């Protein structure tokens, strides 16, 4: 699977550990995030991840910022992106299972790296359930 990842200055260490884990599983990673702690603007990285998915360069996305909110809001500005802010593996699973989320947002200042990796693992391994959820997901995008 090809996964696009983007982060601001709150997430370089998270990204490094997540990328190492995903590459160990054989996934291809597109790095759209900063690699240092210098202050940057999270929208630049959220848009880059969303665009990778919309252009078919990536199957799923991961975005990381301090609260997870700003970068999730940014990604969700794109019509076909469903970015879910997740705090636990259970929420990450439901985001895929019920909401067909294609981007997970991680709040680096509020979850451990270990917790973030567990959320990503569940997110990438869970498929959309469809059924009754498909009708709901189809109503999300503005026309």
Active site residues: 98
Location of structure tokens 């995008």: 141
Identify the DSSP state of 26.
T
Query: How far, in Å, CA of 115 to CA of 99, rounded?
Result: 21
DSSP H helices, 4-106, are: 12-24, 42-54, 69-75, 89-99
Note whether 38 and 88 are within 8 A (CB): no
Cα 63 off chain centre by:
4
Query: How far, in Å, CA of 123 to CA of 40, rounded?
Result: 26
The tokens for 136 are 């709901």
Query: How far, in Å, CA of 3 to CA of 28, rounded?
Result: 6
């Amino acid at each position: 699977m090809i996964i696009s990842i983007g982060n601001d200055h709150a997430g370089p260490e998270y990204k490094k550990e997540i990328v190492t884990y995903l590459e160990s599983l054989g996934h291809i990673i597109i790095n759209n995030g900063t690699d240092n702690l210098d202050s940057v603007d999270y929208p630049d990285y959220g848009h880059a991840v969303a665009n990778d998915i919309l252009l078919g360069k990536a199957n799923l996305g991961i975005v990381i910022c301090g609260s997870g909110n700003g970068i999730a809001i940014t990604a969700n500005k794109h019509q076909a992106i469903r970015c879910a802010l997740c705090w636990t593996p259970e929420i990450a699973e439901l985001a895929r299972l019920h909401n067909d989320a294609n981007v997970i947002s991680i709040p680096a200042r509020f979850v451990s790296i270990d917790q973030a990796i567990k959320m990503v693992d569940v997110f990438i391994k869970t498929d959309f359930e469809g059924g009754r959820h498909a009708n709901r997901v189809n109503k999300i995008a503005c026309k």
